[in-house]
Structure 1
Amino acid sequence: MEATRVKKEYGNSQVYFVGGGIASLAGAAYLVRDCDFPGQNIHIIEEMKILGGSNDGAGNVEQGYVIRGGRMLNDEAYENLWELLSTIPSIDHPGQSVREEITAFDNANPTHGNARLINKNGEVEDVLSMGFDMADRLAMGKLIITPEDKMGKARINDWFAPHFFQTNFWYMWATTFAFQPWHSAVEFKRYMLRFMHEFPRIQTLEGVTRTPYNQYDSIILPLHKYLEPFGVDFNLKCTVTDLDFKDGDGITVTKMHVLRQGVPDVIKIAEGDRVIVTNGSMTEGSSLGSMTTAPRLNGKGSSWKLWENIAAKKPGLGNPSSFDDHVDGSKWESFTVTFQDSVFFDLMEKFTRNRAGTGALVTFKDSSWFMSVVLAFQPHFRNQPEHVKVFWGYGLYPDKVGDFVKKRMCDCTGEEIMQELIGHLHFEAHKKEIMATANCIPCMMPYITAQFMPRLNSDRPKVVPEGSTNLAFISQFCEIPDDVVFTEEYSVRAARIAVYTLMGVNRPVEPINQYQYDVRTLFSSFVTSFR
C-alpha cells in the first residue's frame, strides 16, 4: 500500500513572522510546502508598505530607480536558497521554477570580469597575482586553522600586517563582500572557508550567479505570488515594538506589542502559536539623497529597538549592542544611477571590455572613497523601458574626502558623486553627454555591515534559543555555525531551521558544502596564494 503523508492537525495555531524580508517569506513557504500549515494562519508583519526587506528594488523612469544593495548569489554555496527556489514557479516562464529561470539566464550571460581593479591613471590593472608575501600567506594559514572560540572579538587587522591590505586580493575580496579591516576576523575566516572555491577565480568573479532582474523582481515577487493563493496574511505598515514573556525559566512569548499605522495594539500569543523574529536589520535607518541633496545619517529604528527590548528580558537572546552601537564601523554609502540613453553604458562597455551584465565589480583601488561600480544586464527592473539604463555603485569610506570633488562622500549630492566617478574613469571629455540625463540617487546605510562587527559567539542568539517553546530568530544576526552572514542563504537557512524546529518536522536542512575538505579546492587555493 502506498504510504500516505500524515497531515498534522494544527487546530487554530497561528505563526507570526516579524519582518517581511526573504527569511519570513521563505519561512512561510516552508510552512505551507513542508508542514501543510494553513496559509491563512500565517501572518507576516512588516513595518514598510512593501515586502522584501533588504532585497529591494524600486522606482520608475521619472523619479529614478533605487537598489540599496547589490546581492551576488553563488551556484555552489547557496544550498537552501536553490532548493527553495526550485519549487517556486517563475512569473515569466510558465512551467519553469525560479531556480531554472535564474540558471538559464546566468548560463546565457556568464560573468567574467575583465576590469576588476582600476588604478589612479584610469588603467585596468593585471590582477592575476594575489600580491601576497610570505607573512600574508602564513597569517592566512594560521587564521584558517585557528578555532573560532580562540579568536574572540579579534579584528581582521589584528591578524594581518599592513601589507595585506595593499594586496590585489584584499582590494578584490573586500569589495566583493564589503569587508573592512576592523571587521570580525571570525566572519572573515568563515568567508575564506565557505567561498574557498571562489578564491582561485576572485579576479573574474566567474562564480557569481546573477538574477534576470534585481532581487526584488526576480526572487521576492515570485515568493510573494507563490504564497498569495494559500491565503497568507501580509500585515503591512505594522511595527512590532516589544514581546512579553511567561514568568519563570524558559522562553515562551505571551504577547506581541504592535503599532498599526501608529495606533498601539496587542496580539495575544496562545498556546500552540509561534513567533519568528527578524532581529536587527542591515538596511534599517537607510536614507536617500538626490541629484541635489546628500542623504542623512539616521539612527536606530524599530528592529534594533525590539531586539534591545527583548534581549534585556531574557538570557540567551543575544547582545544587539555589539552590532548596532558602532555606526562608524558599519556604515557605507551606495548609489543607483538612471540614464535616459546609453552614452555611459557604451563608454563603460568599451573601457571594461565587458557587455553589461557579464562584468564584475569595477573597483577604483586608489579612490579615497574606495569606490566600486557594476553594470547589470538591462533591463534591471520589470518596468524599465528599453532606452533607460541603470547601474549601481558604492563607496566603503563615506567619511573620506573625494579625489576630484573635495568633499566627504556622505556630504555629496548625486551630481557630485557622478563627477567623482567621471574623474576616476577619465571620462571628462564626455562629461556633458553623461550628465545630460543622469539621475544619481545616493543611499546612506548606517548598519549595512553591522553583521560583520567583532562579536562574541553569545552575541547572536541561536535560531531557536535554549529553553524556547515558541520563539525563533531568522535574521542576519542569529547564529548558524559555519555559515556566512550578508547572504541570501543565511536568511533562508535560518528560516528553514526555525520552521522545522518549532513545528517538530523531521526533515533535513541542506548541509553546508565543506570546500575546505576538498583536496582539489585546497590545492587550487594553495597555488592561487602564490600567483
Structure 2
Amino acid sequence: MTRTGNTSPENAHIYLTGSGIAALASAVLLIRDAGVPGGNIHILEKARVAGGALDGSGDAEKGFVTRGGRMHERHYTCYWDLLSGIPSLENPDVSVTDETFEFNERLIAHGQARLLRAGRRLDVSSYGLSLMQQGRLLKLIYESEASLGDRRIEEWFDGAFFETNFWLIWSTMFAFQRWSSLAEMRRYMRRFIHMVEGLPRLGGILRTKYEQYHSVVVPLQRWLENKGVEFRFGVEVVDIGFEIAGGRKRATVLELAEGGSLPLGVNDYVFTTLGSITESSDNGAWDRVPVLKGLAESGAWKLWKKIAAKDPAFGNPSVFCDHIDGSKWYSFTATLKDPVFHDYMEEFSGNLSGTGGLVTLTDSNWLMSFVIARQPHFPNQPRDVKIFWGYGLYPDRKGNFVDKTMAECTGKEILDELWGHLKIQDLMKPFVDEGKVNCIPVAMPFVDALFMTRKIGDRPDVLPEGTENFAFLGQFVEAPHDCVFTVEYSVRTAQMAVYGLFDTGKAVSPVYDSIHNPKYLIEAARAISR
C-alpha cells in the first residue's frame, strides 16, 4: 500500500471517532510503528466507556452483562501482534497475548455437548451432508466472490441443507442466517478451512481470561493513556466535511453534536469507524423486556449515511443498516448466586467450566445457544457467583415453553424457556424463587448487519482513492480476503490505515492462507464427507 499522507508524524494530530477495537488498535500502531506522539492522538467517543462491541459490565447485585463476545483463534496475526506489546490486566510483566495463549493451554476447548435435542446430546461425529450438499460447499469455496454478487446463502443450497449438523454448528458458531450473504460465507469457508474438522468440538477456539472488555479493552486503554493519548468521552461526531476536487479528497471539519465543530488543519488526520453492530442496543432486566431501537437512536449509522452522501467511494450503508428484521437478534447474560446450574451442566456435558463452549438447542424455536465460560468471567465476580451468556437467532418466533416471542420476553421468561429445553425446571425453581438468579436480555438491532447481502463497493476502501488525511475503519470497510465479525478484521483495517498514511517501513500482515494448505483441505474434505 502506498503512502497517501505527507505530514511528518511528529507534527501530526489524529482524531479517532469511536473507541472500538479498530480505533484503539490504530492509536497503538500510530505510536508504536508510525512515531506519532501519544499526546497528539485524540479519541472522540459519544459513550462514557471505551471498547465498542467488546464490552462487559455489572456486578453480583445488579447482574452482569455482555452483549456478545468475539471468537478468537491462534491465526489472528494482526490482533495477537497488537496485543503482544500490551501488559495484561493483572500482571504488567505478561502481555495480553501471552496471558491468553497460556490460559488456553490450561483450558483446551473440547466441547462434548455442542448440539442438544429434547434435552439430550446429539452425535456430531457426522456433519450429515449429502453428496450434493458436499459438492455445493466445495464449489462455493472456489467460486469467485465477484460472481456471487448479493446472493443469499439460501439461494445456493437446498432446503435440507439447513437441517444438517453442519449448518446448525456453522450458523450458530458464526451467527449466520439463511438470508445472510453468500459471499461472506465463502470468505469464512476459505479463511477458516483449517477449523472445519474441529468445529463440532470447538477445536481451535481461544478464549480470553475474562470477558473481552477487561481482558483486552482496559489494558489497551491503560497503555494508551500512559502514552498521553486523550480520551474524550461524551463527544459525538455527527458529520464530517470533505473537500473533494481534482481527484483529491481531504477531510476539513468534524461536526459535533449540539452545534460544535472541530476544524482540521494541514497536519490533522481523522480515522472514522463506520457503522456499529452494537449501536442502539437496549438492556432489559429480570422483569423488563428490552426495547428494539433502530436508526433513529443510532449515531454511528446516521454519521455514515451523511458521509456516504458526499462521494460514491464512501460506501453504501443502507444495504447493511436498513434491514433490522434481518440483522437483529437478542442475547442474554445470567447471574446466579448458586453453583447448581453450572454443576449440572458440568455433569451433563462432561466438560469442566471453560472447556466446553457453545451449546445449541436444535429444537428451540428461537434457535437458542448458550456458553459457560471459565469462572470468574469478570474480575469483580465473587467466587460464589456464576454467570453464563446466550443468544437466540430467531427472536420473532414463539418459544416452545413460553407462549411469547423471544423479543417479548423478560430475563426470567428467557430462562424459563432454557430450563424447559434442558428439562431442569424443578431443579432451578427453588433458586429462582429465592431470588438467586438474575438475567439481563439485550436487544441488538444491527448485530448481524455485517452479514447482510452486499455487492463489491458497498463497503468502502480503508483509504479511498485520492485520500489525503483520513481513513475508514472497522467491520464495514473492505479488507480483502478477511472475515467480518472478527477482532482480526478490525485490527487489520487499523494496519491498513496507519501503514497507508504514514511511512512505517511495515506491511499489513497477510491473511492466514490455510485455503492453499493441502493438509487442511484434505482434513476439511474428510470432515464434510463423514
Q: TM above 0.5, one fold? A: yes
* Shorter-normalised TM range: over 0.9
Q: Give the structure 2 partner of residue 408 of structure 1.
A: 405
Q: Give the structure 2 partner of residue 520 of structure 1.
A: 519
User: How far is the alpha carbon of 1:529 from its aligned partner?
Assistant: 1.2
Q: Give the structure 2 partner of residue 396 of structure 1.
A: 393
User: How far is the alpha carbon of 1:9 from its aligned partner?
Assistant: 4.3
User: How far is the alpha carbon of 1:171 from its aligned partner?
Assistant: 0.3
Amino acid at match of 1:291: W
Q: Give 3-state SS (helix, strand or coil) of 2:496's partner.
A: helix
Q: Give 3-state SS (helix, strand or coil) of 1:209's partner.
A: coil
1:271-296 CA distance string (max 9 Å, x none): 12111100100000101111111101
1:383 equivalenced with 2:380 (yes/no): yes
1:292 equivalenced with 2:290 (yes/no): no
Q: Give the structure 2 partner of residue 487 of structure 1.
A: 486
1:96 equivalenced with 2:99 (yes/no): no
Q: 2:82 aligns with which of 81, 84, 92?
A: 84
1:464-503 CA distance string (max 9 Å, x none): 1111111111110000110000000001110111011112
Q: Give 3-state SS (helix, strand or coil) of 1:216's partner.
A: helix
Amino acid at match of 1:142: K
Q: Which has the higher contact order (CA 8 A, sep 6+)?
A: 2
1:283 equivalenced with 2:278 (yes/no): yes
Amino acid at match of 1:274: Y
| Structure 1 contact 341–387 (Cα < 8 Å) conserved | yes
User: How far is the alpha carbon of 1:247 from its aligned partner?
Assistant: 4.4
| Structure 2 contact 34–503 (Cα < 8 Å) conserved | no
Q: Give the structure 1 partner of residue 365 of structure 2.
A: 368
Q: Give the structure 2 partner of residue 5 of structure 1.
A: none
Distance in 2 (alpha carbons) for counterparts of 1:13 and 1:352: 55
Amino acid at match of 1:296: V
1:326-385 CA distance string (max 9 Å, x none): 001100000000011111111111111111111020000110000000000011011111
Amino acid at match of 1:88: I
Distance in 2 (alpha carbons) for counterparts of 1:183 and 1:469: 35
1:107-138 CA distance string (max 9 Å, x none): 1111110000000x211000010000011011
User: How far is the alpha carbon of 1:439 from its aligned partner?
Assistant: 0.6
Q: Give 3-state SS (helix, strand or coil) of 1:74's partner.
A: coil
| Structure 2 contact 252–264 (Cα < 8 Å) conserved | yes
Distance in 1 (alpha carbons) for counterparts of 2:180 and 2:365: 19
User: How far is the alpha carbon of 1:433 from its aligned partner?
Assistant: 3.0
* TM-score calculated relative to the size of structure 2: 0.97
Matches within 5 A, 1:211-250: 211-249=208-246, 250=248
| Structure 1 contact 252–468 (Cα < 8 Å) conserved | yes
* Residues 361 and 11 of structure 1, relative CA distance in 2, 3 Å threshold: closer
Matches within 5 A, 1:116-131: 116-119=114-117, 121-131=118-128
Amino acid at match of 2:116: I
User: How far is the alpha carbon of 1:94 from its aligned partner?
Assistant: 3.2
| Structure 1 contact 165–171 (Cα < 8 Å) conserved | yes
Structure 1, unmatched stretches of 5+, are 1-7
Q: Give the structure 1 partner of residue 470 of structure 2.
A: 471
Aligned residues: 519
- State the identity %: 46
Distance in 1 (alpha carbons) for counterparts of 2:439 and 2:100: 28
Matches within 5 A, 1:297-312: 297-300=292-295, 301-312=298-309
1:37 equivalenced with 2:36 (yes/no): yes
Distance in 2 (alpha carbons) for counterparts of 1:86 and 1:391: 28
Amino acid at match of 2:486: T
Q: Give the structure 2 partner of residue 3 of structure 1.
A: none
* TM-score calculated relative to the size of structure 1: 0.96
Distance in 1 (alpha carbons) for counterparts of 2:154 and 2:312: 31
1:425 equivalenced with 2:434 (yes/no): no
Q: 1:203 aligns with which of 200, 204, 209?
A: 200
Q: 2:319 aligns with which of 317, 322, 338?
A: 322
Amino acid at match of 2:87: P
Q: Give 3-state SS (helix, strand or coil) of 2:49's partner.
A: coil
Deviates more, 1:179-188 or 1:246-255: 246-255
| Structure 1 contact 193–516 (Cα < 8 Å) conserved | yes
| Structure 2 contact 242–249 (Cα < 8 Å) conserved | yes
Amino acid at match of 2:15: Y
Amino acid at match of 1:273: D
Q: Give the structure 2 partner of residue 148 of structure 1.
A: 145
Q: Give the structure 2 partner of residue 4 of structure 1.
A: none
1:447 equivalenced with 2:455 (yes/no): no
